[in-house]
Amino acid sequence: MRKVIASAVGLIFAGGVAATTASAVENQFGGYWRTRAFVQDEFNQDGESYGRIDSRTRLYYTAKFNDEFKFVNKFEFDYNWGSEPLGDVGTDGTVFEIKHSYADFTLGNVRTKLGIQGYTIARGFIFDDDFAGIVVAPKFGNVSPSFGYISEKTEDGGGYDYTEGIAFFQVGVQVSDNLNLTPYFIYYSADEGTSVDSEGVVTPEGDWDSFYFGADFNLKMDVGSVWGSLIYNGGDYGDDDIRAFLGALGVDAGIAHGQVFYATGDDDPTDGDMEAFVDPIGAWYYWSEIMGYGIFDNQVSTGSYADGATNIFAVNAGVTVKPADKLTFTADLWYAMLAENDINGEDELGLEVDGKLTYALMDNMNIDAVLAYLVSGDATGDEDVFESGVRLSLKF
């Protein structure tokens, strides 16, 4: 395996590195691998079921020069069994993905990550993805501010004149040993397309120019923990003013857990006010198995949002038990509905039951078995939705 990792790293250093420099580098290796088999039925309410077996390999290599400077790389290979270009008979595919490649360095008390990396803002309600950009994080005792830029499009000249992406600033405050508070401000700009009239005049259609102001908190107590997020979304979309918000609250009390979240929808698209919470590009908040992606993250049921949260109310209650040292069982009950009716005047997504069994086959290797069933509401469709699957995963 390390020979494979070393070969991948060689592509990154194709320009050549002096032997005297390489000898001073501490080489750190790691990775992740998984294979899944799953079936999803009635997700699109078309009477059809979908199933596949797929695999993913991630190889991590970090060149650590010293405690203040390292160069981080993550490579990925994805394939569906029996499909080109990598999973067909003969394999030998040319699939090679670079997930991360960034410099991580600290000058004084300021840590900077520059390049292709991952980041999470507001638990994924605003952003949880990989991107090209920069994150700067000074450290001042119990206060940890961070700011950066997530690039969606950045070109100027040659017929292009725009900068689209997410600029953010947040401050982590360790209020006490048990309480952490993180207020943040995010600005999101994006061009959603243009139109051309009969005279050749180009007019933007629905440009996003939105901002978010909010805070997360995490509270630890003797009986468990509580977390929450509250976000106000303002700005404008084209000629419409954005006035929206999102709230989420969760608890974890050992064997029991639960959460609830609400993101506003737009009750009248013609009134000049957009009241639906805006999902920036890169927003991913996973929740239930069927309505919220879950561990198979292939598709969601009809009517439910696909990535970030908008026009949704969802509530969850669940339990996690360990009947044996290597065995964990998790059961969850979810109810979800739209905050505002859909175009058919419906709002109920349904009641979902999820079960997941996890067994540690050996150190660092787990197998998960999942069963999920959604009793469809009118906003989902007439047919109930079903999902089942297994996943074998390894971390090293």
What is the number of structural domains in the chain?
1
- Residues 292-299, mean pLDDT to the nearest whole number: 94
Quick one: pLDDT at residue 90? 64
At 273, the pLDDT band (50, 70, 90 cuts) reads confident
Q: State which residues form the domain around 167.
A: 108-285
**Domain assignment of residue 222, yes or no:** yes
**Domain assignment of residue 133, yes or no:** yes
**Domain assignment of residue 232, yes or no:** yes
- Residues 176-189, mean pLDDT to the nearest whole number: 95
Per residue in 42-52, pLDDT (tens digit) is: 999 999 999 99
**Domain assignment of residue 186, yes or no:** yes
103 has pLDDT over 90: yes
- Burial pattern 263-299, b for ≥16 Cβ within 10 A else e, equals bbbbeeeeeeebbbbbbbbbbbbebbbbbbbbbbebe
Grouping H, G, I as helix, E, B as strand and the rest as coil, residue 112 is: strand
**Domain assignment of residue 145, yes or no:** yes
Quick one: pLDDT at residue 162? 58
At 1, the pLDDT band (50, 70, 90 cuts) reads very low
**Domain assignment of residue 205, yes or no:** yes
Q: Which residues contact 126 (CB under 8 A, 6 or more apart)?
A: 166, 186, 212, 231, 280, 283, 308
Amino acid at 2: R
- Residues 106-122, mean pLDDT to the nearest whole number: 96
Which CATH number fits the domain that encloses residue 147? 2.40.160.100
Lowest mean pLDDT among 84-93, 136-145, 261-270: 84-93
Encoded tokens for 257: 């857990």
Q: 207 and 195 in contact (C-beta within 8 Å)?
A: no
**Domain assignment of residue 241, yes or no:** yes
188 has pLDDT over 70: yes
179 has pLDDT over 70: yes
Give all strands (DSSP E) within 159-255, no chain letters.
Answer: 160-174, 179-190, 194-196, 202-204, 208-221, 224-237, 240-242, 244-253
**Domain assignment of residue 208, yes or no:** yes
Per residue in 192-245, pLDDT (tens digit) is: 654 444 434 434 455 778 999 999 999 999 899 999 999 999 998 878 899 999
The rounded mean pLDDT for the chain is 88
Which pTM was predicted?
Answer: 0.86
Quick one: pLDDT at residue 212? 97
